[in-house]
Chain A
Amino acid sequence: MAVVTFDRKDFESLVGKKLKDSDYTETVPMIGVTTEELSSDSVSFEVFPNRPDMLSVEGFARALKAFMGDGKGIKYSVGKIHGTMRVDKSVENVRPYAVCAVVRNVKLTDSVLKSLMQFQEKVHETFGRRRERVAIGVHDMSKIEFPLKYAAYEPSKISFVPLDSKEKMNLSQILQKHGKGKEYGWVLENYKTYPVITDAKNDVLSFPPIINGELTRVTEKSKDLFIDVTGTSKHYIMKTLNMLCASLADRGAKLEAVKIDYTKSSETTPDASDQKIKVSLDYLNGLLDTDLKEDEVKMMLAKMGVLFANNVASVPFYRTDVMHQIDIVEDVAIAFGYQNFEPRIPKIPTMAQRNRTQEKSCVIKEIMVGLGMEETVSFVLTNDSKQFNMMAAPVEECATILNPKTEDYTACRKSLIPSLMNVLGDNKHNEYPQRIFEIGDCVELDKSETGASNVRKLAVALCHADADINEIKSVLETFMHSYGLGYRLKNSAHPSLMSGRCGEIIVDGRKVGIIGEINPAVLKNWGLDNPVAVLEMVVE
């Protein structure tokens, strides 16, 4: 989740009143935001990913202002079409969509610039999926001559001076040498041509989603801005442009449109019209168990910056999270206050059914504890070394991880015995005897829907100076008797167990497990000096 930091003075001036510390700790959480840090100069909030509009100081202040009762709502409007941008067919396969806006008379004070930068950065990271889905470019308008063109080029065919650089570079050079190129080059990894925005003089404005040109750099002196937002989803770039425009308009700037010409269609951006969504009061009251009338809903939605009339909610253009009337219901619930709903338990006649495997596991645990065994619980994740090499066993096919973060966890366990050996190895400093058991899931590859299934197993390990096959056999015999399962043992061989001290557990003519004394060579691998006798069986 994204944490944003605002200048407290600037924030409160946008909210329109001085806020007490308690407003931050009591009221703000009720919109669903945590105040992370608060000082007299600055304030940090943790914003949920469904409200990227609150990543900007203006957007956050706007939401809080409404929530605290200033329900007038702000109307946003877009002026005349300032110019045109042609979207060339060549970008279709690499980065197909672009939207733009012109923003006039921006007072770019230090705090506005800072918040603009923070907003861009946070949107890129979260909503923009590290610039893959959405990338923003903000430019000084005075350097640009319309019409503009958005097209894809071979990387060596076009060059310009990127931001924070002195020399002209072509697109490949930017990806190789420029900091931003190295950071975001992965987005273009699989493409042969790269997207570029140029103006009427053929000057490069932007190489999205990597970097803008130095030419159109925004400074405190810039008065008019040009904004481009490009990406892979028209919906998301439009919403991003809307959020930016709303923020700048809140600062007193005027919005103007840009006409976007695709090969077969055209549109005008930004579009400040509301999103209309039908809300049924029955649905709303049914789900919240409330009895709210239209004007009450209207009042509450005003607190969320949403207009409501004739069962239609008008959601402002900067909101990105409304997909269904349920989202409006949630806004009402938040405005109503979660603390104002009285919790209640309904009478729903259901009969509890226990899961058989789980139930068996519980019974087995009881018997094992009665036998004086101590339960341990280990990870399902393991690696070949622990699971096979240290057990002196050949490496077998098992469920493995594609993207492990550490060498420790690269596969799922097939057996619980290595888990128990690991526990014994870690507990050499603790008092003996150590008689431990584990009941848990192993994973086996198979032909099932997901390609692997859980196998619930039980394993016991006895470790002390006198531990041997006799004792573990007694454990098995007593356990099987209590559990009510007939079985027989058959001499066999196993690489981890000592030959001549090892057998198969057979139930109904099927092998369900093994029993024996751990091979001393294996004991050495785990650093154990005491003998260890084990058993393992499937619990099904």
Chain B
Amino acid sequence: MDLHPHELKLLGTLKNFHKGADIAALSKASGLNPDSVRKAALWAAAKGLVKSEVTETKSYLLEEEGIRYLKLNTLPELIIFNEVLKKPADINYLKNLREFQIGMMWGQKKGLIFNWGSDNVRLAPKKEAEQKIAKDLEALDEVGRGNYNIDRAKLEEFLRRRFLKEKIEKTETLSITKKGLELADSNPDGGIGKLTPEIIKSGAWKKGVRPYDVSLPSAKLIAGKKHITSVWAEKIRKIFLDMGFSEASGPLVESSFWCFDALYQPQDHPSRELADTFYMKKPGGSKLPEPGIVKAVKNAHESGTEGSTGWMYKWSEDIAKKPVLRTHTTAVSARSLFGLTPPAKIFCIGRAFRNETVDYKHLPEFTQVEGIVVDENVTFRDLLGYLKEFYWRLGFEKIRFRPAYFPYTEMSVEPEVYFEEKGEWVELGGSGIFRPEVTKPLGVDVPVLAWGLSLERPIALMTGLNDIRNFYFKNDLKLLRNAKVNV
């Protein structure tokens, strides 16, 4: 018979407990943890080596109400009895007493008060009533001290009146069967379980080693492991690198100029509002880049680049100087575009910030993925081509495109991928061709294709971890240890 080492250990330990023992005692005696004892017992019981017996023990505990009357050394029925005894009884006062209802009920039941509510009210003799109640209290006190050997009917009464509560405890007693005993005796040390240098050198292993049931479950190791978001970020990084994109980065604390103005987002645009964007107290202000580009961006906003009307408002340098926590990595793309010589393909994976209150769908921080393609010959079809290729490499086989709107792209496209498991199309990211009002001031005269998405969204879709707080907010090691990283 193949036995797990824990089973052998359990049998060896149980041998010494003639009357059997509970899990705690066996854990202590064997050095196995209680869980292992429980598991080993389960396996051994299935093989008929160990017998498990569950016994229930009942006990009674005093409840608040019981304690209260023990302290008062009386019961409601006696309190009411004494009140009725007073002549003349004050009926209104009586009815307002906390104990009235209950005391009257039990008083009548126990034969202390007769004919209540009629003209012919009668009471038991005072002494008899007092003795009766004293006896009851004595019984209650006994139970409180752990002696349950009282009149069964009294016990029921106390339970019903919530003076006591019943507590049932289950204990599992394990004992060794005859078959188990034989096995334990025939195999006192369990045979050679583990090869040691000594056993290998001495040749003792030739007497045979204990067989091992490989189908039994094994303990998990705590392994060195990358974070699930890292794994996905690296996957996406590789996709971009494989497609010939170069990697860019930029500051987390960004000027409004690069985060918004250079992207042709008008200065009164709602996404620039305090409710959506983290503005910095420190640093207090950013420097603007060289005057040439500042002037070009200002003109684009106020009166448009060549062939454009612009947003037609007065652009303010002060607003552009306000530092923010970047709301998107498109700020990095804008910086990359400035002074760039085409052709170029650039990507960025980085943290972005939104002034949001935290819930399962929103975090104040997320990771954004963004790619741009800069070349004189690229067209709208190429944008769709890159999207299709990129999402295919990410694991989404079917994609479709919908018109969308972003202030800095035209055409703007919302890619939707087909999510097999749910059988539905889901929106995943945004994309478009940068407007001429964005690229011209940056000195780029050719089309720029751009797309971006949050890193968390595909992870949530692919892993089913819908509560995105799980990723950073919690860093629950159990969840991270179990996370699949073969993506």
Contact = CB atoms under 8 A, between A and B. Distances in A.
A422 B339 CA distance: 42
A334 B403 contact: yes
Interface string B271-285: 000100011111111
B429 to A, nearest CB: 15
B230 A365 contact: yes
Interface stretch (A109-117, A141-149, A285-293, A295-303): A285-293
A445 B378 CA distance: 40
B247 A353 contact: yes
B72 interface: no
B411 A329 contact: yes
A399 B307 contact: no
Interface string A214-233: 00000000000000000011
A289 B251 contact: no
B487 interface: no
Interface stretch (A98-106, A342-350, A495-503): A342-350
A156 B381 CA distance: 62
B6 interface: no
Contact of B355 (A329, A352, A397, A405): A405
Contact of A354 (B241, B355, B389): B241
B401 A338 contact: yes
Contact of A433 (B222, B237, B385): B222
Interface string A227-242: 0000011010000000
A368 B381 CA distance: 43
B244 interface: yes
A350 B343 contact: yes
B224 A373 contact: yes
B393 to A, nearest CB: 12
Given A345-B385, A348-B244, A133 B268 contact: yes
A252 to B, nearest CB: 31
Interface in A435-491: 435-436, 441, 443, 445, 448-454
A488 to B, nearest CB: 26
Give the interface size bracket for B toward A. Answer: 35 or more
Given A129-B270, A404-B278, A345 B244 contact: no
Nearest to A358: B247
Contacts of B249: 355, 357-358, 454
A48 B253 contact: no
A402 B403 contact: no
B1 interface: no
A529 to B, nearest CB: 16
A30, A278, A343: most-surrounded residue (chain B CB, <10 A): A343
A278 B234 CA distance: 46
Interface string A136-177: 000000000000000000000000000000000000000000
B279 A342 contact: no
Interface stretch (A5-13, A69-77, A376-384): A376-384
A357 B349 CA distance: 12
Interface string B217-239: 00000111111011000100100
Contact of A380 (B252, B355, B375): B252
A35 B366 CA distance: 28
Given A348-B373, A451-B283, A343 B410 contact: no
A16 B233 CA distance: 51
B362 to A, nearest CB: 11
B477 to A, nearest CB: 5
A365 B226 contact: yes
A30 B413 CA distance: 11
A348 B344 CA distance: 8
Interface stretch (A189-197, A204-212, A423-431, A518-526): A423-431
A49 B268 CA distance: 13
Nearest to A351: B244
Contacts of B364: 379, 381, 405, 409
Nearest to B226: A375
Interface in A392-418: 397-406, 408-409, 412
Interface string B380-401: 1110111111000000000011
B20 interface: no
B433 A287 contact: yes
B365 A379 contact: yes
Nearest to A375: B227
B345 to A, nearest CB: 5
A433 B377 CA distance: 56
B224 A370 contact: yes
A56 B224 CA distance: 58
Contact of A287 (B281, B343, B380): B380
Given A378-B472, A450-B253, A369 B378 contact: no
A123 to B, nearest CB: 13
Contact of A376 (B246, B308, B475): B475
A362 interface: yes
A376 B282 contact: no
Contacts of B229: 377
A433 B404 CA distance: 49
A327 B401 contact: no
B304 interface: yes
B33 interface: no
Interface stretch (B9-17, B94-102, B309-317): B309-317
A42 interface: no
Nearest to B474: A426
A29 interface: yes
B76 interface: no
A129 to B, nearest CB: 5
Given A31-B403, A32-B404, A399-B283, A376 B351 contact: no
Q: Which 8 A-B pairs have the closest CB atoms?
A: A451-B283, A32-B403, A48-B405, A289-B379, A452-B253, A355-B247, A343-B384, A324-B308
Interface of A: 29-32, 48-51, 126, 129, 132-133, 232-233, 235, 278, 286-289, 323-327, 329-330, 333-334, 338-339, 341-346, 348-355, 357-358, 362, 365, 368-381, 397-406, 408-409, 412, 423, 426-427, 430-431, 433-436, 441, 443, 445, 448-454
Interface of B: 222-227, 229-230, 234, 237, 240-249, 251-255, 268, 270, 274, 278-287, 289, 304-305, 307-313, 323, 325, 343-345, 351, 353, 355-358, 363-365, 373, 375, 377-382, 384-389, 400-405, 410-413, 433, 435-437, 447, 471-478, 480-481
Given A346-B377, A370-B224, A374-B222, 10 more contacts: A30-B402, A339-B401, A358-B247, A374-B225, A375-B226, A376-B480, A402-B278, A431-B477, A449-B286, A451-B284
13 contacts: A29-B402, A32-B403, A287-B433, A324-B309, A343-B388, A350-B343, A352-B241, A354-B241, A375-B230, A378-B472, A405-B356, A443-B252, A452-B253
